[in-house]
Amino acid sequence: MPKSKVLITGGAGNIGGSLTRYLTSTGTFEVLVVDNLQSGSAEKLPPPSPHFSFIRANVNSYSDVSPIFTSYRPDFVFHYAATVGVARTLKHQSIPTWNRNPIIAQ
């Protein structure tokens, strides 16, 4: 029986990283993490394994995300990508948000 494919955005953050490490430890899921590492850390990712893959990409960019979904075709998606902290958000105001870019947010 094929393993369920799980895509986790923000998988190098605290919550996404914990979920990623747990799912890969079970051996019952094929896990793909998509993270730009802006606020996450590669140290929070699990060690390399046949059940785990990582793509450094911006989930706010349709041109980055579309081919990932087309080729990977996940069964489940956990969306944990976020810009954390008010200071970081104010410093990086060029990051699209729903109010600035509602087409991407839909």
Q: What is the CATH number of the domain that holds 81?
A: 3.40.50.720
- List the structure tokens of 45: 């990712």
pTM exceeds 0.85: no
Write down the H helix ranges in 1-98. 14-26, 62-72, 86-91
Per-position pLDDT tens, the chain of length 106: 789 999 999 999 999 999 999 999 999 999 999 999 988 999 999 998 999 999 999 998 889 999 999 999 999 999 999 877 667 667 766 655 554 444 554 4
Look up residue 58 and give its amino acid: N
pLDDT, position 105:
46
Q: Measured between alpha carbons, how far is residue 75 from residues 6, 64, 69, 70 in Å? A: 6, 19, 10, 12
- List the structure tokens of 100: 């600035």
Q: Measured between alpha carbons, how far is residue 84 from residues 38, 74, 87, 92 in Å? A: 10, 26, 9, 11
How many domains would you assign to the chain? 1
Residue span of the structural domain in which 69 resides: 4-105
